[in-house]
Amino acid sequence: DTAVSQTPKYLVTQMGNDKSIKCEQNLGHDTMYWYKQDSKKFLKIMFSYNNKELIINETVPNRFSPKSPDKAHLNLHINSLELGDSAVYFCATSTTSAGAREQYFGPGTRLTVT
């Protein structure tokens, strides 16, 4: 039973298209994140939701819009895809219990824009 799952695992699309990536967790955590990992493996946080409320919104083009329909789901919608959006996108979760900061990652979605 996968703790953090993402769909799809691979996504190949053309420039200008709109696409969504979905994330679901069954850990009961209250905080979820989206990260982007570029071709050099550098990981950068994009967004975070705590109990469905946006708490981290890094400098990300407004073509990227996260949506959290409930505490177990965090989706990422990307409009007007560009070549530079090609990357691996990771969803992660954590709990805000005192002293807890570790995050648990999904398997990633490899997005290729052609």
Partner 1 sequence: AQSVTQPDIHITVSEGASLELRCNYSYGATPYLFWYVQSPGQGLQLLLKYFSGDTLVQGIKGFEAEFKRSQSSFNLRKPSVHWSDAAEYFCAVGTDSSYKLIFGSGTRLLVRP
Binding site for partner 1 (CB under 8 A): 4, 31, 40-45, 48, 50, 55-56, 90, 92, 94, 96, 99, 101-108
Which of 14/59 has CB closer to partner 1?
Answer: 59
Q: How far is the CB of 43 from partner 1 (least distance, A)?
A: 4
Q: How far is the CB of 45 from partner 1 (least distance, A)?
A: 6
What one-character DSSP code corresponds to residue 30?
S
Q: How far is the CB of 36 from partner 1 (least distance, A)?
A: 11
Integer Cα distance of 18 and 49 in angstroms:
22
Which of 15/52 has CB closer to partner 1?
Answer: 52
Contacting residues for 32 by C-beta, under 8 A, at least 6 apart: 23, 25, 48, 49, 68, 71, 74, 91, 92, 93
CB atoms within 10 A of CB 25: 23
